[in-house]
Amino acid sequence: QVQLVQSGSELKKPGASVKVSCKASGYTFNNYDLNWMRQAPGQGPEWMGWINTSTGKPTYARGFRGRFVFSLDASLNTAYLQISNLKAEDTAVYYCARPSGGWSIFDSWGQGTLVTVSS
C-alpha cells in the first residue's frame, strides 16, 4: 500500500535551518508528484507547492518563495523540504502529500513533521 513516512519532530532556534524528509513506498515514485503542506496550530492546511518527481523541478506557492526549497533523492524515493532562516511563524506541522490522477486531490499523506521554532 502507498506510504509516505516523514522524519521526526524538530526544535530549532530562530535563524537556523531544518530539512524534513518524506520517504515514499508502495508505488512507482516518479509516477506521481509530491506536494508539501503547512498547517499552523489551529489552522487549516496551506499548500506550499510541489516537486515533479521525474525532473526534480519544484514549483512554489506564493508566500513560499525564497526560504523554502523542495528537493529529491530519487534513488531513495525520498523528497525533502528545507526551510532556512527559520522564524517563529514557521512553527507548524509540515506534511507531504501525493495527488491522485493528475489533479490536486490528495489521497495519501505523510504523518506530518512538527517543526517548532523557539529561542
Partner 1 sequence: DIVMTQSPDSLAVSLGERATINCKSSQSILYTSNNKNYLAWYQQKPGQPPRLLIYWASTRESGVPDRFSGSGSGTDFTLTISSLQPEDVAVYYCQQYYDSPLFGGGTKVEIK
Taking the complex as a whole, how short is the minimal distance between the CB of residue 97 and partner 1, in angstroms?
8
Taking the complex as a whole, how short is the minimal distance between the CB of residue 95 and partner 1, in angstroms?
6
Of 42 and 75, nearer to partner 1 (C-beta) is 42
**For residues 85 and 15, is the Cβ–Cβ distance under 8 A?**
yes
Using CB under 8 A as the binding rule, the residues of this chain from 90 to 119 that contact partner 1 are 95, 97, 100, 103-107, 109-112
Using CB under 8 A as the binding rule, the residues of this chain from 13 to 72 that contact partner 1 are 35, 43-47, 61
Angle (nearest 5°) at CA 81 between 76 and 83: 145
**For residues 114 and 9, is the Cβ–Cβ distance under 8 A?**
yes
Residue 47, amino acid: W
Q: Is 84 in the site for partner 1 (CB under 8 A)?
A: no
Give dist(CA 24, CA 102) in Å, integer: 17
Beta strand 46-51 pairing with 3-6: unpaired
Taking the complex as a whole, how short is the minimal distance between the CB of residue 101 and partner 1, in angstroms?
9
Residues making contact with partner 1 (CB under 8 A): 35, 43-47, 61, 95, 97, 100, 103-107, 109-112
